[in-house]
Structure 1
Amino acid sequence: MTAIRTTHVGSLPRSQEVVDFIFAREQGAEYDTDAFAAAMTRGCEETVAKQVKAGIDVVSDGETSKISYATYVKDRYTGFAGDSKRNAPADLKMFPAFLERLKDEGGTPTYARPMCVGEVRSKGQGELQTDIANLKAAMAAHGASEGFMNAASPGVISLFLQNDFYPTRDAYLAALADAMAEEYRTIVEAGLYLQLDCPDLALSRHMLFNDLTDDEFIKIAGAHVEALNHALAGIDPARVRVHICWGNYEGPHVCDIDMDKVFGTLMGVSAQQLLFETSNPRHAHEWTVFRDRKAEIPEDKILVPGVIDSTTNFVEHPELVAQRIERFAGIVGADRVIAGSDCGFGTFAGFGAVDPDIAYAKLAALSDGARRASARLG
């Protein structure tokens, strides 16, 4: 029997202790560095324990120590300073009363998004090595045999930490690719899967490039993939996962570019595992894109569809999860499908639409559904 493995996108709810320490550092307040380190170790260990209990096969550190999946780079690389003006996604601007409600309810997290104002260079891999050590220790303690660690792609860094130093966007992307390459190699050499977060390949269409046509945007996305693949040179694609999404927020999403239009871009990344949204109401129908374009899916690619949503507190029925898995197994075979989530549950420290306990209940439903699908697929 082919057992469908389970995973998720990476970020998970942090404890209040972890959040308080992260924001103390973020705001430049005084804090005990030893206590900070101990809290991150505890937080990672607890997060891995909960994933294993929920039945997740390929676990992460939950991005415990990071303020967010993209802006963490400002703490680990030179060249970033200040803050930048926020730009809401185009769909939220179309519904200003809803956008205002999100702001009033604290639904739009606040944290620094500095500009690039100097040369981007690594400050060293110390913080990353600490994260890796915490994750591997937690995996050993709780019997998790496979783990992954998230890293920002050059394109998503350019989306949230915009350029005010390099002469062109392409020059900025090239500099980011050169700087991030060591981080990518370090993760893979530690025996973990490298997950690259690439919402720039979809979200940025309606967040930064909404004045372009879809065809013009696809050219931009292609340049992002080119920079990313350059950074991945020499890394085995079998150790790489890439995640594409349209923004992990509950909203109308009426400006999202179709999966059919970014399909070729996604397939061009030098990563074996492809993680994408397919459970939320705006993109659940797009499993048919993979069915109809099956011939364009390289035979070495593994599909990791989101079979649970990450923006609502509904806990999916395991039978629905199984049905979603079976759709993709029918396209590429059960051995080339891993069950995942649409996006993360703790994209920003201290912020998440889903209650922490419910997030793990959803992961347990994912695992239950994978077992059902495995039994039926044989």
Structure 2
Amino acid sequence: MTKINVTHVGSLPRTQKVVDFIFARERGESYDQADFDAAMREAVDETVAKQVAAGVDIVSDGETSKISYATYVKDRYTGFSGNSPRNAPADLKLFPSFLKRLADSGGTPTYARPMCTGDVASKGQQELGKDIANLKAAMTKHGADRGFMNAASPGVISLFLQNDHYPTREAYLAALADAMREEYETIVAAGLDLQLDCPDLALSRHMLFNDLSDAEFVKIAKSHVEALNHALENVPQDRVRVHICWGNYEGPHVCDIDMAKVFPVLMKTKSRYVLFETSNPRHGHEWTVFRDRKAEIPDEKVLVPGVVDTTTNFVEHPELVAQRLERFVPLVGADRVIAGSDCGFGTFAGYGAVDPEIAYAKLKALREGADLAAARG
């Protein structure tokens, strides 16, 4: 029996203590740095312990110290100030009563999204170093053999922190790729796998590029992958994970671009592991893209389908998890399939549709479902 490993996309629910510290920093309020660091260290330790208890094989720090998976770069890199324009996804604009309900319920997080107004450059890797140390210490303590750390891709940074400095989008992407290179290499040098979050390869179609055709957008997505691969020039491909998604929110998603159209772009990323959504009702059918285009999946790719949803508090039955995995195992073999989640459970600090205890129940269901699928061969 070939074991099917279990992982997830990265972010996990943060404690209120962590959230309070993160938003104190976000608002520019005074706080004690030593207390901040201690809170992050303790939270990462607890987060890793819970992942191990749930049966997760490849753990993360839950993105504990970050305000979000993309905009954290404003705290670690120069060149950002002011505020970027906010643009609701196109599908939500089609249903204004639902968009209003989200806004009125506090379901739309408020946090800084500055523009790029100067040269982008690293402020140093001190904060990253703390994140790495916290994760590795927790892994050692709780017996986790393998871990990964998330980092923003150049494309997703350009989506949320828009350009008001470089002469073209291409120049901005190139600058971001050069700036992020050290972060990527530092994570891998520490013995962790690197996960690049790339919702720009799908989500940005209905957020920033509504005026383009699908074919024109795919050209944009290709340029994002070129910038990403340039930044990964010195990183071994077998240490890289790439996550693509259409937005981690409950909504109609009727404007999402089809997986079939972005599939070739995803396969061109310099990554061994590709993480993608297959649980939410808008994309659950698209496993057939992988079946029908099996010949286009490079031999080195490992598929990490999301087999639990991250926008609902239903806990998937392990049998359903197994059935979803069994769609992919015949395509590439059990050794090239890992059970994952659609997206993160804590995309933005302090916000999340799934109750924290239920999030870990879903990870436990992942383990049980993966074991069922493996046992059935």
The answer, yes or no, to whether TM exceeds 0.5 is yes
Counterpart residue number, 2:319: 319
Rounded to whole Å, the distance in 1 between the matches of 2:310 and 2:338 is 17
- What is the identity, as a one-letter code, of the residue corresponding to 1:308? V
The structural deviation recorded for 1:276 is 0.1
- What is the identity, as a one-letter code, of the residue corresponding to 1:38? A
Counterpart residue number, 1:137: 137
Counterpart residue number, 1:201: 201
Alignment of 1:171-182 (within 5 A): 171-182=171-182
Counterpart residue number, 1:367: 367
Rounded to whole Å, the distance in 1 between the matches of 2:248 and 2:49 is 25
Rounded to whole Å, the distance in 2 between the matches of 1:161 and 1:85 is 9
- What is the identity, as a one-letter code, of the residue corresponding to 1:368? E
- Work out whether 1:340 is the aligned partner of 2:340: yes
Rounded to whole Å, the distance in 1 between the matches of 2:82 and 2:132 is 29
Rounded to whole Å, the distance in 2 between the matches of 1:218 and 1:344 is 25
Q: Provide the aligned C-alpha RMSD in A.
A: 0.4
Alignment of 1:279-358 (within 5 A): 279-358=279-358
Rounded to whole Å, the distance in 2 between the matches of 1:324 and 1:113 is 36
Counterpart residue number, 1:54: 54
Structure 1 residues 145-166: Cα deviation after superposition (integer angstroms, max 9, x where no partner): 0000000000000000000000
3-state secondary structure, aligned to 2:118: coil
The structural deviation recorded for 1:85 is 2.1
Rounded to whole Å, the distance in 2 between the matches of 1:321 and 1:166 is 45
Structure 1 residues 259-290: Cα deviation after superposition (integer angstroms, max 9, x where no partner): 00000000000000000000000000000000
3-state secondary structure, aligned to 1:338: coil
The structural deviation recorded for 1:83 is 1.3
Rounded to whole Å, the distance in 2 between the matches of 1:76 and 1:286 is 37
Rounded to whole Å, the distance in 2 between the matches of 1:357 and 1:154 is 33
Rounded to whole Å, the distance in 2 between the matches of 1:240 and 1:85 is 31
Using the size of structure 2 for normalisation, the TM-score is 1.00
Using the size of structure 1 for normalisation, the TM-score is 0.99
Structure 1 residues 295-326: Cα deviation after superposition (integer angstroms, max 9, x where no partner): 00000100000000010000000000001111
Aligned residues: 377
Structure 1 residues 312-371: Cα deviation after superposition (integer angstroms, max 9, x where no partner): 000000000001111100111111000000000000000000011100000100110001
Structure 1 stretches of 4+ with a deviation exceeding 4 A read none
Counterpart residue number, 1:114: 114
Structure 1 residues 104-144: Cα deviation after superposition (integer angstroms, max 9, x where no partner): 00100000000000000000000000000000000001000
- What is the identity, as a one-letter code, of the residue corresponding to 1:74? K
5+ unaligned residues in a row in structure 1: which ranges?
A: none
The structural deviation recorded for 1:82 is 1.4
3-state secondary structure, aligned to 2:196: strand
Rounded to whole Å, the distance in 2 between the matches of 1:304 and 1:158 is 25
Rounded to whole Å, the distance in 2 between the matches of 1:147 and 1:202 is 26
5+ unaligned residues in a row in structure 2: which ranges?
A: none
3-state secondary structure, aligned to 2:113: coil
3-state secondary structure, aligned to 1:261: helix
Counterpart residue number, 2:262: 262
